[in-house]
């Protein structure tokens, strides 16, 4: 019986070859090119976080279901966040760009959860 | 009262007139009109108050959408509840059949009603967790019972969705 190696077992050399700086083998590179680094507006806008706050009315099972649906989290991760909200008063569910953060908060409000978007300073 | 899943329906049978009336009250209980605390809870702010521009935009564009979403859920529930208005004797037990495709609308309407009742009565966390409180001796007790009864239905629907 033969086994196909698992993808993770296939070793790929990632270390680049190191060449001595004075090596004669180096090709002429000429003047260095200065690249202007630009950032998209969204990149500069980073990061925002989606926070869910404790609410004594919403059922724990309901909150867990909402986290699974909105963020696609597996049940155990959704439960961990739910318990954090319950015990600590709040939990950070997601962080990233402002626009998707707003959309997440809108969805959470659609499920009647207390959620806010906060900028990380 | 008995509650069970039957194919594509959730069936609540042996509903006595009192519980049937509590169910009929769901759409009315979810109404925030005239109760600022309830309105603020259902349409909560998207920030902690430090993003005034975002809050203003939210009020203008998101809130109307959420209002439509919530109304649509209570309308679906209201139409399901019409089964309870049959011509049977007023004191007879009733049966309510909820199509499972309406489960999300029921979860939303029950949640709206629970949040609005809790906000109007300013229930504390201690009161909300006191599930053994009895008997119903005041309007406030009745409201608390209503919140717990709706919560029980939510739990059942959630369990069914999980299956």
Q: Which residues pair with B96 in a beta bridge?
A: B12
What does the pLDDT average to over B10-27? 93
Higher pLDDT, B135 or B83: B83
pLDDT for B51 equals 82
Mean pLDDT for chain A?
A: 78
pLDDT per position as a tens digit, A46-103: 799 999 999 999 999 999 999 999 999 999 999 999 999 999 999 999 999 999 999 9
User: 């909105």: which residue's tokens?
Assistant: A70
d(C-alpha A90, C-alpha A115), whole Å: 9
Strand B2-6 to B9-15 pairing: antiparallel
pLDDT for A97 equals 93
Quick one: A18 exposed, middle or buried, by C-beta within 10 A (0-12, 13-18, 19+)? exposed
d(C-alpha B83, C-alpha A41), whole Å: 55
From the list B46, B151, B155, which residue is nearest A105 (CB)? Answer: B46
CB neighbours of residue B153 within 10 Å: 20
pLDDT per position as a tens digit, B63-103: 999 999 999 999 999 999 999 887 666 667 888 999 999 99
- pLDDT of A13 over the 50 cut: no
In this structure, chain A runs to a length of 121
Q: Domains in chain A, ordered, with CATH?
A: 43-119 (3.30.1390.10)
| Chain A residue set in contact with B, beta carbons under 8 Å | 56-59, 61-62, 65, 102, 105-106, 109-112, 114-119
d(C-alpha B159, C-alpha B62), whole Å: 30
3-state secondary structure chain A: CCCCCCHHHCCCCCCCCCCCCCCCCCCCCCCCCCCCCCCCHHHHHCCEEEEEECCCCCCHHHHHHHHHHHHCCCHHHHHHHHHHHHHHCEEEEEEECHHHHHHHHHHHHHCCCCEEEEECC
pLDDT for A121 equals 74
pLDDT per position as a tens digit, A108-119: 999 999 999 998
The ipTM value here is: 0.92
Per domain, the residue ranges of chain B are 2-162
pLDDT > 90: percent of chain A:
59
User: 């060449």: which residue's tokens?
Assistant: A19
- pLDDT of A26 over the 90 cut: no
Give Dmax (Cα) for chain A.
Answer: 75
d(C-alpha B80, C-alpha A100), whole Å: 35
**Site from A116, A119, A120, A121 to mutate, B interface, most B CB atoms within 10 angstroms:** A116
3-state secondary structure B62-125: HHHHHHHHHHHHHHHHHHHHHHHHCCCCCCCCEEEEEEHHHHHHHHHHHHHHHHHHHHHHCCCH
Range among A20-34, B92-106, B125-139 with highest mean pLDDT value: B92-106
Tokens representing residue B117 in the block: 């009742």
Q: Do residue A111 and residue B51 have CB atoms under 8 angstroms apart?
A: no
């Amino acid at each position: 019986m033969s086994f196909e190696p698992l993808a993770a077992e296939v070793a790929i050399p990632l270390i680049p070859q190191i060449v001595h700086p004075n090596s004669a083998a180096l090709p002429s590179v000429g003047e260095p090119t200065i690249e202007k680094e630009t950032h998209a507006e969204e990149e500069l806008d980073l990061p925002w976080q989606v926070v869910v706050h404790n609410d004594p009315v919403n059922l724990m099972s309901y909150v867990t279901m909402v986290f699974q649906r909105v963020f696609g989290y597996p049940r155990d991760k959704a439960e961990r966040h739910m318990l954090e909200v319950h015990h600590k008063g709040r939990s950070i569910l997601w962080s990233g760009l402002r626009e998707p953060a707003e959309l997440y908060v809108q969805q959470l409000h659609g499920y009647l959860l207390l959620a806010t978007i906060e900028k990380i300073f | 009262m008995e509650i069970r899943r039957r194919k594509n329906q959730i069936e609540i049978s042996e509903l006595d007139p009192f519980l049937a009336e509590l169910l009929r009250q769901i759409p009315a209980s979810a109404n925030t009109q005239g109760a600022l605390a309830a309105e603020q809870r259902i349409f909560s702010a998207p920030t902690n108050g430090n993003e005034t521009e975002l809050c203003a935009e939210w009020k203008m564009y998101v809130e109307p959408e959420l209002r439509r979403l919530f109304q649509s859920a209570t309308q679906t529930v209201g139409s399901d509840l019409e089964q309870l208005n049959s011509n049977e004797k007023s004191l007879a037990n009733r049966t309510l059949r909820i199509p499972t495709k309406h489960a999300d609308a029921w979860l939303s309407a029950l949640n709206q009603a629970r949040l609005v009742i809790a906000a109007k009565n300013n229930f504390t966390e201690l009161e909300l967790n006191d599930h053994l409180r009895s008997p119903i001796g005041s309007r406030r007790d009745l409201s608390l019972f209503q919140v717990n009864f709706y919560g029980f239905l939510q739990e059942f629907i959630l369990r069914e969705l999980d299956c």
